[in-house]
């Protein structure tokens, strides 16, 4: 049995422009509703794993769903919010005079989140519990389908990878957070 976690492709939304915190909140909404950049070539490992999969799962976010379709045309994937990316906390403060890139805002908020600040979003503890539920679900599906691919997200895929390892799955490839990066696990029951 084999499970492969693949991170979605690069977003169509530019992350380089400096924006205020309020603009960043709007940027996040756009990021979640936009698709991914269609590449000329995709990593061979990601394409290979998608073509070998008996079942493809995605989160219910557009960048995940679109990535599955780009890696394997006419794929019939199961989409679920269970596999969504970890949310960022939202503060009521607006910081109108501070402008940072969306990547920098995201890093700062992720640091706060890992430090225990989870205003208006799922806590780290809850995210770990969701990752355990997701691991159980994907293992159940793998029992039936033998070879499953999940097109997910960087941070959630990492939590899910840790849960799979805790449940005895052996990692065949290194953990990566690169767009289109594939992490494969096996379990010989």
**All domains of the chain, ordered by start, with CATH?**
2-186 (3.40.50.1240)
Q: 120 in the Ramachandran plot: left (φ > 0), alpha (ψ -120 to 50) or beta?
A: left
Confidence of residue 189 (pLDDT cuts 50, 70, 90): low
* Residue 20 structure tokens: 């205020």
pLDDT digits (tens, 9 = 90+) for 89-129: 987 777 788 999 988 999 999 999 999 989 889 999 999 99
* Residue 111 structure tokens: 């640091």
Confidence of residue 52 (pLDDT cuts 50, 70, 90): very high
Confidence of residue 34 (pLDDT cuts 50, 70, 90): confident
Residue 24 in this model has a pLDDT that exceeds 80: yes
Per-residue DSSP letters for 86-135? PPPP--S---TT--EEHHHHHHHHHHHHHTT--TTS--HHHHHHHHHHHH
pLDDT digits (tens, 9 = 90+) for 136-165: 999 999 999 999 999 999 999 999 999 999
């Amino acid at each position: 049995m084999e499970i492969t976690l693949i991170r979605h492709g690069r977003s169509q939304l530019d992350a380089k422009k400096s924006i205020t915190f309020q603009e960043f909140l709007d940027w996040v909404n756009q990021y979640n509703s936009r698709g991914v950049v269609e590449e000329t070539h995709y990593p061979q490992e990601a394409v290979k794993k998608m073509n070998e999969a008996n079942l493809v799962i995605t989160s219910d976010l557009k960048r995940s769903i679109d990535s599955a379709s780009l890696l394997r045309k006419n794929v019939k994937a199961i989409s679920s919010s269970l596999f969504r990316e970890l949310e960022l906390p939202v503060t009521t403060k607006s910081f109108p005079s501070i402008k940072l890139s969306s990547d920098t805002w995201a890093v700062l908020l992720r640091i706060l989140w890992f430090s225990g600040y989870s205003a208006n979003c799922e806590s780290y503890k809850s995210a770990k519990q969701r990752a355990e539920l997701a691991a159980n679900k994907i293992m159940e599906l793998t029992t039936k389908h033998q070879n499953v691919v999940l097109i997910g997200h960087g941070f959630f895929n990492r939590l899910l990878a840790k849960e799979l390892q805790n449940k005895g799955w052996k990692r065949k490839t290194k953990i990566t957070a690169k767009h289109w990066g594939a992490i494969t696990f096996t379990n010989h029951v």
